Structure 1
Amino acid sequence: MKKLNPVILIFYLVLLQSCNKKVEVEVSGIPYTIEISKQFLTSELPELQFVALDTVDLEIPGNLSLTFFQDMAFAKNFFFILDVRQGLLKFDYEGNYLKTIGAKGQGPDEYNGATSIYLDEKNDIILVTDWSEMSVVSYDFEGNFIASEKFPGQPIFLFQHKDSLLVVQEDAFGSQEKYRMNLIVSTIDPKKLMSKQQVSVLYSYVSELNTFYNFPGILAKLNEKTLFYLPRPRFEGLTEHKDTIYRKVDDHLVPEYLLHFTEFDRTDTLSISHLEMFDGYVSMLFNFKKQEYMIMLDLVNNLPLSYMSHPLDNRISTIDIENFPKHLNENMFYVILRNNEEEEESNPKIVFYRFDN
């Protein structure tokens, strides 16, 4: 019998200790509550209406072999794919590969652990957040390097807030017992990549679950409010399942919505692996006992909407992060669809849809 790796042994010991700790969510003073029950997940509900509009097939001779799409961004005449293995790639809407933007590496004009991309079409600039190097790198649409800027935290993504471009970062540090996690926000000029304001810690909290944790993620805007979602760590034995959506007020966050997952017991494990927000709705990929659910929250009426089958193609048996509908603009969505029945690996299709509800 093989000996257990000491690192793995320590991991499980800490995990067992963490599962015995009580993690509470502050619920007082939160204006809105949305309840999502276990029974709701299996209820018969009306299908949400998505209408297919267009398809871009990336299986074209000469195209690079694509793996997993970390992010995508769309311009008028072309679009960009941030591929985990190939890096940042430029395509036209016929599906033809045009060029690689930048390169993977640790140089000032390279990215090592890219997490997201952002288009500034006004200035023909594409920005890449590099989590590993704690930086943002910019290129023009032809792939020429412009600038890079270091930040105090690991950049997760960029977000347009009114007339400002925000760099949302995460930062974690601590001891064996507790980890302090900070949500850091900086404002930058996309042309010069110069910080326009002093860095501010928007939210900070201490977690006793130092083995694994989730960082805050921004949602979007609703009625001029900028909302952040704060998922809590999840494990078997958790007695209450609650999450919070916060509203940004100046340089801090205020609780706005309480997401209360009811009827789940101590043996239930839940996770939320992806979220999108658009026009007062939140769509999330919800995992419960190895089953994926797509849940949509109506933030205006404080109601959940749900379906188990894939909303775009009922032949798809499993909803995952890649084929989950991602918001593009207004009521437009796109998904990445692969033909998993083929023996040889092939590049996927990008399908554009309109949400008609």
Structure 2
Amino acid sequence: MPTQTATTDSKEPVIRCESVYMIFGDNAKSMLEKSGGVVDSAKFQEAGCIVGVNDASFEVHKGELLIIMGLSGSGKSTIMRCIARLNEATAGNIYINGEDILTMNNKQLIELRRNKMGMVFQSFALLPHKTVLENIAFPLQVKGVSTKDSIERAKEMVDLVSLTGRENYFPRELSGGQQQRVGIARSLAIEPDIWFLDEPFSALDPLIRKEMQDEFLRLQDVLSKTILFVTHDFDEALRLADRIAIMKDGVIEQLDTPANIVLNPATEYVRKFTEEVPREKVLKIKSVMEPYDPNEDHSDQKVSQDAIIATVAESILNATRPVAVIDDAGEIVGSVHASKVVSILFGSRADDSEEQTS
């Protein structure tokens, strides 16, 4: 059975979905009522309906980055569009900060989007006749912010996304990565509580995509936004996500941390989806560290217990002595030997199946 792991935070989630269905077709609601909520995608398709989202329930907490992924047609973009109410859900409840957005009228919905939601899509959708500054300032001016104040805010956003010096460029004068930065800056200008990103980097070439992922991680470290991010790229999901939801035929097959999804797949589909993923991309240093021995001769370098092994493997392997492991406060909590990293990088999966992150 598909499984989901809830967060342990007892506070009200920023986003909460309860049994959300999105079914396309003239008789979708009547068929859903007759089914009693047990939806067979094939049978619905025979009746002229397409199942986009099938009984999705999950939460996203403040500051969390949840990535929804799956193959084309899995429902990943559809569920995001339902939460933003760009699509009207067929059934279920969707709460934003405790308010059911499916009961909101158009005026309330517009206010919610203008003041709490930022959106970035695969298409940059920049206004070609406006400069970088003008593009970024545009949504603020739509809200009624003065030209002077909106431009000042836009300048702050230009600095934030590292486009200083290109304020007066037009979109045609920018690279694809720079255009995407403008789109990100524009969505952040309104200071949204929730950030929706739908395949934001998929149109970029691999090198620029990696640079944009780096930039995105930097921004999230500074801003701590609540983010719903859609991608079909599992490597991207592993690199960015706090948790990942994998969808198939509108169903959330598993929602869990990247490490648990790779190491403990809940369904056969998830197992096949993740079977080629190297463990060093999801395991953290704390999963392979040993107790710290103060009498042992250690290297001068230190690594964080939360560092993904792949990101620090080279430096550990180059060290001639064990490397101390530190926590967020900089306190030494263990040590890691090059032999453990070698085992993860080159050993069989079975050899280290017990080494998992929480």
TM-score (norm 2): 0.29
More strand, by proportion: 1
Return the index of the structure with the highest Cα Rg: 2
Higher relative contact order (CA 8 A, sep 6+): 2
More helix, by proportion: 2
